Structure 1
Amino acid sequence: MTVADVRGLGSLDQTGGLTTLPVPSAPAEPRLPRARRYLMCPPEYFEVAYAINPWMDPDVAVDRTEAMRQWQELRAVYERLGHTVEVINPEPGLPDMVFAANSGTVVDGRVLGARFRAPERAAEAEHYRRWFLENGFRDVIMPACTNEAEGDFTWTGSLLLAGTGFRTDPAAHGEAQEALGVPVVSLRLVDPRYYHLDVALFVLAEAGLGRTPLVAYLPSAFSPGSREVLGRLFPDAILASEQDAACLGLNAVSDGRHVVLPTEATGLGAQVAERGFEPVFVDVGELRKSGGGPKCCTMELRS
């Protein structure tokens, strides 16, 4: 399915408004959004100055003005959906600080900070730690093990899914359980393109009121054992196509009804619409040059 096909199904607003697909049929249960609180960092100093993942090529030019426009529109989408967006000031010399999801995991007001594997990003963790302390978070723990926060930690409402294989140390999974006081399920990533869990899997609807969470993921991004675990935990999961994963379609953000995802992920958008969600497409083409999408730019502050 192309973007043109989606335009025929519903509306693809080119003027900055929300872009949604209609729900083709009533779901078994209503999809109810929940107001969220997010932390974002503007890409004031964004550039691809080094290569620490397969998406990054320092020889490819970056349009910082366009990256800022895309970031501002993403923020505006969240606000139009009724969510609160907090902003941390960017720091010179930290071009990837825009990817806020990598610098903290917050569950029930508890914060586990980050410890980056790449030295180029190491300083980001301290800036975010200070932001938490200056903004009322008192239960802030900085990790001893390498952990790239919501890049590899995904909260389902009942379990913390924890990725490893490329960035986050397996020992960080146990550290997260102790720091956050929630059960952790380890998942091994095996495809270098999907080096973080948040580019291979996302949560559409969290657990609650006796319901199990619903997720979407790319099976080939995971080891055989991890695929079995995912199949047992989430038998009704949406299985994404390689095409949608390759445009970082799984680097998406859901509030329980609205699903914010890249404009190119039209097949995935149709799949989530079939389950009663409303896809909201955003352009993140410039930010993707560093391997980032909507989720990478978005840390959730769960109180």
Structure 2
Amino acid sequence: MTSQNPSRRRYLLCPPTYFSVDYAINPWMDPDRPVDRPAAQAQWRLLRDTLARLGHRTEVIEPVPGLPDMVFTANGATVVDGRVLVARFRHPERAGESGPHRRWFAAAGFRPVFAAGAVNEGEGDLLVAGRRILAATGFRTSRAAHREAARLLGRPVITLHLVDPRFYHLDTALAVLDDDRIMYYPPAFSLPSRRLLHTLYPDAILADEADAAVFGLNAVSDGRHVVLPAAARSLAHRLHAAGFTPVPVAVPELMKAGGGPKCCTLELRSR
């Protein structure tokens, strides 16, 4: 059971003003499947309001026309102790997001702000877990980016290998709950990575395929409250049994692009 009190967090979000599915760069995206943009905007507002209701500070980066995935701010950077490593996207469709994120962090007073040299998709694949960073490779972020992140962000990096293309980013297959606990979907990882996760986190909450497939692991935790997709009902029960407070939100329109609550939420960690 958890006894840790929730800590107040600061998050960066981006309104889905230009959100659409115009291309397919992950298995969930289908340009022939229409997106209801007003519904997506309402769902995003619900997520933002939920985070605020839990006591967290939310900030907004302005969306840019022609960058429909910019709503997924978690992919834009990784922030540790005020140091920022801005993403370098693998796919050209998203490459234009790096510049607006770099400018936002510079204007907001973050120092230093690094531009990634290696392919690195921010908190999509680099998740801060206490004093370490859990980092994935296999589909988006390169292994070289793990070495770069360790050097620039000053934290040891644990490399994990994703093997199921449905879970193309680490934050679709694993969520950090607090400094010492995580939840994850084992089949998303290679066997050596599963063994490593079991060694590091023997008491982790394990998700089943049904909950993983509705982005149940794409969750935002403040150490007690866990904001996750409403469809992940079984996982919510497991969180409750472990002493966490699940906070369900429905974001089905955003899920059409392969994202959920965590994808829309970049944590701003100050010194």
Scaled by the length of structure 1, what TM-score is found? 0.89
Whole-Å separation in 1 of the counterparts to 2:32 and 2:210? 25
Q: Aligned residues: percent identity?
A: 61
Aligned to 1:166: 139
Aligned to 1:124: 97
Whole-Å separation in 2 of the counterparts to 1:240 and 1:120? 31
Residue 182 (1) aligns with residue 124 (2): no
> Contact between 1:31 and 1:277, CA under 8 Å: does it hold in 2?
no
Deviation at 1:205, TM superposition (A): 1.2
Match of 1:258 among 225, 233, 239: 225
Residue 56 (1) aligns with residue 29 (2): yes
Match of 2:73 among 88, 100, 103: 100
Whole-Å separation in 2 of the counterparts to 1:111 and 1:31? 27
Match of 1:41 among 9, 14, 31: 14
Deviation at 1:239, TM superposition (A): 0.6
Aligned to 2:200: 233
Aligned to 1:281: 248
Aligned residue for 1:161, secondary structure, equals: strand
> Contact between 1:152 and 1:198, CA under 8 Å: does it hold in 2?
yes
Encode CA deviations 1:21-73: one digit per residue, 9 max, x unaligned. Answer: xxxxxx3x413100000000000000000000000000000000000000000
Query: Structure 1 counterpart of 2:132, which letter?
Result: L
Aligned residue for 2:71, secondary structure, equals: coil
> Contact between 1:31 and 1:276, CA under 8 Å: does it hold in 2?
no
Deviation at 1:138, TM superposition (A): 1.9
Aligned residue for 1:261, secondary structure, equals: strand
Aligned to 1:6: none
Deviation at 1:157, TM superposition (A): 1.1
Whole-Å separation in 2 of the counterparts to 1:301 and 1:91? 21
- Alignment of structure 1 residues 11-22 onto 2, 5 Å: none
Size of the aligned set, in residue pairs, is 270
Query: Structure 2 counterpart of 1:31, which letter?
Result: Q
Residue 109 (1) aligns with residue 76 (2): no
Whole-Å separation in 1 of the counterparts to 2:150 and 2:132? 10
Scaled by the length of structure 2, what TM-score is found? 0.99
Aligned residue for 1:193, secondary structure, equals: coil
| Moved >6 Å (runs of 4+) | none
Aligned to 1:247: 214
RMSD (Å), alpha carbons: 0.6
Aligned to 1:218: 185
Larger-gyration structure (1/2): 1
> Contact between 1:189 and 1:221, CA under 8 Å: does it hold in 2?
yes
Encode CA deviations 1:139-160: one digit per residue, 9 max, x unaligned. Answer: 1111110000100001001110
Encode CA deviations 1:55-111: one digit per residue, 9 max, x unaligned. Answer: 000000000000000000000000000000000000000000000000000000000
- Alignment of structure 1 residues 145-156 onto 2, 5 Å: 145-156=118-129
The 10-residue stretch of structure 1 (219-228 or 29-38) with the greater mean CA deviation from structure 2: 29-38
Deviation at 1:132, TM superposition (A): 0.1
Aligned to 1:198: 171
Aligned to 1:87: 60
Query: Structure 2 counterpart of 1:250, which letter?
Result: L
Aligned to 1:135: 108
Aligned to 1:298: 265
Whole-Å separation in 1 of the counterparts to 2:118 and 2:251? 31
Whole-Å separation in 2 of the counterparts to 1:56 and 1:203? 25
Aligned residue for 2:69, secondary structure, equals: coil
Query: Structure 2 counterpart of 1:101, which letter?
Result: A
Consecutive unaligned residues in structure 2, runs of 5 or more = none
